[in-house]
A and B are shown apart, each in its own frame.
Chain A
Amino acid sequence: MKLFTIYNRMLLVVLFGGFITVGAFFYQALTYILNSTIDEGLNEELMEVREFMHSRNHAPAPKGDKNLIITFENIPNATDYKEIKDTVFFNPKKRVTESGRYLKADIVFEGRPLRVLIINSKLPQQKQFQLIFFAILIPVLILFAVLIYINHYILKKMWQPFRHILSQIKTFNLNKESKYISVNSSVDEFTELDESVSAMITKIREDFREIKLFTENASHEMMTPIAVINSKLDNILQSNTLREEDSQSLQDLYMAISKLNKISHSLLLLVKIEHDLLTGPEELSVNEMILQKADYFRELISERHLHLTIKTANTTVKTSRYLFDILLNNLFSNAIRHNIDSGKINVSLKDGELIFENTGQLSPLQEDKVFERFYKTAGSEGIGLGLAIIKQICNKQNFDLKYEYRAPFHSFIINLN
């Protein structure tokens, strides 16, 4: 749930609850005040009744006041009884049933005990009451609505920088040189967040660049010493005094040098792909390139007695020729290198899906690690960069790359669309 929604929901609950509580309290207070005003009136009326009866010697019958009804009742004994309560009564003067407040009290008039009932209609007060209530309720409701609206609008505006920062973090990609756009916010926290994120991204980019530069420089620097060793070996080889063991050592040295060389080249290539330092896209015929590559690798394939099947359909793809060449190269190399003698390689190209299948060890590779740099299975003679390069190329060209093991085939599936 969004912070905004949570906040709004909480605000609504608090406001509504508060409003009801305050309303109830207000209602009680108002009713209390009203009642006590009426009660005061009733008491006064009772006093008036007593005085009136004393002076006039008969019961009062106020005619003008339609809201006041006074009745008498003979009772055997007069007590101190006095009661004030709410009631609903029939008002004979108005001929309607209405709510009111009554006072019952015993009085003795000329030796006769009488119970006097004075009922006061609440109607005029109720009207007052309603007026007061609405006079308060309506502005409060308006305030309430305005508050929610402002809240909604201002909050949205206030959180805008945050969302902006968040969206930039979400789309952050080390390999893409999109610049971080700072936000202007009057909120200190957001300014701080913005500065921190910006500084962090800059730092990450710098570190990454440094690592890439280091890889590049280290790989370059390795080339010269390797070239020196290689050239010296070539010269040693020319001496006619080499014994067989020496030759064997020389051969091993050549192998080691060639591996070092390959690592250097692969690392450089990775850096270059990341830097997009390679040729631009052009329309390539995939099937043609596959057939060329198959021819190129023919000796290597027949040397291991591998059985190669190619099923292609006419497919073109718009991509960098150099990269695509490396991609096919590595796919073929991979399929040949990690195969078993007399194994199989199936290459199929259909509906823009390029599948390389090869027999090999009879267990799946770790799917999540197979494309990692320097990932190698036990006994692998490679350097673990071939598949990393494939992955990198697919990333750059927006090809979808998957590894699957369908016994006995290891499959690499590339979606070229």
Chain B
Amino acid sequence: MKILIVEDEVSLLKSIKDYLTHEGNICESVSRFETARQKLSLYDYDCVVLDLMLPDGEGMQLLKYIKSLHKTYGVVIISARNALEDKITGLNLGADDYLVKPFHMSELNARIAAIIRRKDHNSNTQIIFNEITIDPLAKTVTVNDTEVYFTRKEYNLLVYFVVNRGKVISKNAAAEHIWGDDADMANSFDFIYTHIKNIRKKLQEAGSKDYFHSVYGVGYRFTAE
């Protein structure tokens, strides 16, 4: 995937770029409105990660510009602004997702993956990981052609881990993925452990290998290694 990251905070830009590059994407990064516009007019991208507040222009303007090019880029807005109107304006202008800062890299990655899946009508939209096949449209999970039933939260969590395969996902990130702002509610993130235990059990009962590896107290990694 070719991704353009537009973000004026250089260290954040670098983190995003590092994470997404490690995921096997080709990333270009710009921190100015004008350079972003130039890049957009010259090259094609699969997805644009767009910060709304840039020193020399509004991200919304860039969004309008992208739409005027009539390209089917996926656009994820990343912004510190959490106002409902901003979200609505952004989504109305054609953005595919709106992520409020601060966010976890794995969350951004999952959102980008979801957008690209949606945009890619021609190819197979299924997420396949060895013997596990996830159909995001039907929201079903099959292991070796056997359908496994998951609750909504378990399903979301599984997709999250599969999309971020190979990465360590902190319990916070996993909790925030399901709970959003209320993630800090629980005294510990033990309930994430409960969910993962359930997912593991269901997968293994259907004949899958155990791909969840716990990483000390921090979180889990979903990997075939």
B185-216 CB contact bits vs A (8 Å, 1 = yes)? Answer: 11100110011000000000000000000011
B68 interface residue, CB < 8 Å from A? no
A262 on interface, CB distance cutoff 8 Å: yes
Chain B 4-16 interface 0/1 with A at a Cβ cutoff of 8 Å (1 = within): 0000010110011
Given A258-B183, A258-B184, A265-B82: A235 and B195 within 8 A (CB)? no
Which of the segments A57-65, A80-88, A244-252, A353-361 contacts the partner chain? A244-252
Q: Say yes or no: A337-B185 contact (C-beta < 8 A), given A251-B171, A268-B82, A299-B153.
A: yes
* Chain A residues within an 8 Å CB radius of B184: 255, 258-259, 262
The complex places the Cα of A337 from the Cα of B81 at a distance, in Å, of 28
Chain A residue contacts of B170, Cβ below 8 A: 233-234, 237, 250-251, 254
Cross-chain contact of B102 among A226, A242, A244, A268 (Cβ < 8 A): A226
Contacts of A292-316 to chain B: CB distance below 8 A: 297, 299-300, 303-304
Complex contact A220–B81 (CB within 8 A): yes
Kindly provide the distance from the CB of B206 to the nearest chain A CB, expressed in whole angstroms.
23
B168 part of interface (Cβ distance < 8 Å): yes
Contact with B along A270-301 (1 / 0, CB 8 A): 00100001110000000000000000010110
**Is B172 among interface residues, defined by CB-CB distance under 8 A?**
yes
Q: In the complex, which of the residues B78, B153, B182, B216 contacts A329, with contact meaning CB atoms closer than 8 Å? A: B182
Say yes or no: A231 contacts B15, CB within 8 Å. Answer: yes
Nearest opposing residue in chain A for B171, CB measure: A251
What is the minimal beta-carbon distance from B83 to any residue of chain A, in angstroms? 7
Bound together, the chains give a CA A297 to CA B186 distance in angstroms of 10
Q: Are A230 and B104 in contact (CB under 8 A)?
A: yes
A300 and B22 contacting across the interface, CB-CB below 8 Å: no
Across the interface, which residues of B come within 8 angstroms of A304, CB to CB? 186-187
Interface string of B77-107 (1 = CB under 8 A from A): 0101111110000000000000011111110
Which of B18, B171, B216 neighbours the largest number of chain A CB atoms within 10 Å of its CB? B216
Q: Are B101 and A248 touching (Cβ within 8 A)?
A: no
User: Which of A235, A242, A272, A381 makes the CB contact (< 8 A) with B18?
Assistant: A235
> Which listed residue, B22, B172, B218, touches A258 by the CB 8 Å rule?
B172
- The reply on A232 being an interface residue by CB < 8 A is yes
When the two chains form their complex, are residues A261 and B102 in contact, meaning their CB atoms are under 8 A apart? yes
Could you say which of A230, A258, A303 contacts B191, with CB atoms under 8 Å apart? A303
Neighbouring A residues of B16 by C-beta, 8 Å? 231
CA distance A333 to B186 in the complex (A): 9
A262 to B181, CA, bound (A): 7
CB neighbours (8 Å) of A235 from chain B are 15, 18-19, 105
User: Do most interface residues of chain A lie in helix, strand or loop, or is the interface mixed?
Assistant: helix
- How many Å from the CB of A248 to the closest CB on chain B? 6
Contacts of A257 in B (CB 8 A): 102
Q: A247-B217, A250-B218 are in contact. Are A237 and B168 (CB under 8 A)?
A: yes
**Cβ of B106 and Cβ of A234 under 8 Å apart?**
yes
Residue A238 interfacial (CB < 8 Å): yes
Nearest-CB residue, chain B, relative to A341: B187
Size category, A interface? 35 or more
Quote the shortest CB–CB distance from A396 to chain B (angstroms). 15
Cross-chain contact of A336 among B78, B176, B185 (Cβ < 8 A): B185
Contact A220 B218 (CB under 8 A): no
Contact residues in B for A297 (Cβ distance below 8 Å) = 182, 185
A227/B80 contact (C-beta < 8 A), A234-B15, A254-B172, A255-B172 known: yes
Contacts of A135 in B (CB 8 A): none
B182 and A333 form a contact (CB under 8 A): yes
Q: Which of B85, B172, B186 contacts A303 (CB 8 A)?
A: B186
A303→B194 contact, CB < 8 A = yes
- Whether the pair A251, B217 counts as a contact (CB closer than 8 A) is yes
**CB of A26 within 8 Å of the partner chain:** no
Residue from the list B82, B85, B176, B191 in contact with A300, Cβ < 8 A? B191
Q: Is the CB of B9 within 8 A of A381?
A: no
Q: Which residues of B contact A55 (CB under 8 A)?
A: none
**With A227-B101, A231-B16, A258-B184 known to touch, is A251 a contact of B84 (CB < 8 Å)?**
no
Query: Does B173 sit at the interface, judged by CB under 8 A?
Result: yes
In the complex, are the beta carbons of B81 and A232 less than 8 A apart? no
Cβ–Cβ < 8 Å partners of B136 in chain A: none
**Contact indicator A238/B83 (Cβ below 8 Å):** no
Residues of chain A contacted by B106 (CB below 8 angstroms):
234
Q: Given contacts A238-B167, A279-B84, A381-B187, are A223 and B101 in contact (CB under 8 A)?
A: yes
B131, chain A: closest CB distance, angstroms? 25
Q: Which of A3-42 contact B (CB under 8 A)?
A: none
Residues in A with CB closer than 8 Å to B78 are: 227
User: Cβ of A268: which chain B residues have Cβ within 8 Å of it?
Assistant: 82
In the bound complex, do residue A251 and residue B218 qualify as a contact, i.e. CB atoms below 8 Å apart? yes
Contacts of B9 in A (CB 8 A): 224, 227-228
User: How far is B194's CA from A336's CA once the two chains are assembled, in angstroms?
Assistant: 18
Question: What is the CA–CA distance of A344 and B163 in the complex, to the nearest angstrom?
Answer: 38
Contact indicator A234/B102 (Cβ below 8 Å): no
Which A residues fall within an 8 A CB radius of B? 220-221, 223-224, 226-235, 237-238, 242, 244, 247-248, 250-251, 254-255, 257-259, 261-262, 265, 268, 272, 277-279, 297, 299-300, 303-304, 322, 329, 333, 336-337, 381
Can you name 8 A-B pairs with beta carbons within 8 Å? A224-B9, A224-B80, A234-B15, A235-B15, A251-B218, A254-B170, A262-B184, A329-B182
Q: A234-B19, A242-B218, A265-B82 are in contact. List 15 more A-B contacts (CB 8 A).
A: A220-B81, A223-B80, A227-B78, A228-B11, A230-B102, A231-B12, A234-B15, A234-B104, A234-B170, A237-B218, A244-B217, A250-B218, A303-B190, A333-B182, A336-B185
Q: Give the 10 A-B residue pairs with the shortest CB-CB distance, closest first.
A: A231-B15, A223-B80, A227-B102, A247-B216, A227-B101, A234-B105, A230-B102, A226-B102, A254-B172, A247-B218
